[in-house]
């Protein structure tokens, strides 16, 4: 059976961006992660060791966003997707990570800008 674990609205301070001010001052990023898992064993055993710990994944994402600044959301979101898939093995089948930047340096009114990246196990 396949189930989906979601982490929504994880707010993390980081120093990513193309502009020097973004790198110096930093800003908040919002991360949403979806992890599709093979949940047969977890459902049958009710044992956390047979599934993905969303608490551990949230910590991994937070640490990653807080370190190793990059210029582009494309780079950050793909890095997160790849690392979450690796960390969620062997249970994860597919991962989608969206990184939003609500305070992007755009001189217009907007809610956020975001990039979504995916990673999946080879078939």
pLDDT digits (tens, 9 = 90+) for 1-35: 899 999 999 999 999 999 999 999 999 999 999 99
Q: Is the pLDDT of residue 123 over 80?
A: no
**Residue 122 pLDDT:** 87
Query: In the block, which residue shows the tokens 């993390």?
Result: 12
Query: What is the pairing mode between strands 113-120 and 2-14?
Result: unpaired
Catalytic residue among 4, 94, 101, 121: 101
Query: What is the pairing mode between strands 27-38 and 2-14?
Result: antiparallel
Q: What domain range includes position 49?
A: 2-120
Report the number of distinct structural domains present in the chain.
1
**Residue 101 pLDDT:** 98
Q: Is the pLDDT of residue 55 over 90?
A: yes
Q: What CATH number does the domain containing 107 carry?
A: 3.30.1130.10
pLDDT digits (tens, 9 = 90+) for 100-111: 999 999 999 999
Helix (H) or strand (E) segment spanning residue 57: helix 54-66
pTM: 0.94
**Residue 42 pLDDT:** 92
pLDDT digits (tens, 9 = 90+) for 71-103: 999 999 999 999 999 999 999 999 999 999 999
Q: Which of 81, 80, 83, 76 is nearest to 15 (CA)?
A: 76
Please confirm, yes or no, whether 101 is among the known catalytic residues. yes
Helix (H) or strand (E) segment spanning residue 79: helix 73-87
């Amino acid at each position: 059976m396949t189930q989906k674990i979601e982490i929504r609205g994880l707010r993390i301070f980081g120093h990513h961006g193309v502009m020097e001010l973004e790198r110096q001052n930093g800003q908040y990023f919002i991360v949403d992660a979806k992890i599709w898992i093979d949940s047969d064993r977890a459902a049958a055993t009710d044992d956390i060791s047979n599934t993905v710990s969303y608490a551990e994944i949230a910590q991994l994402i937070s640490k990653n966003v807080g370190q190793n600044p990059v210029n582009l959301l494309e780079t950050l979101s793909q890095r997160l997707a790849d690392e979450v898939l690796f960390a969620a093995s062997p249970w994860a089948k597919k991962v989608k990570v969206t990184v939003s930047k609500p305070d992007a340096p755009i001189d217009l009114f907007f809610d956020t800008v975001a990039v979504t990246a995916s990673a999946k196990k080879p078939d």
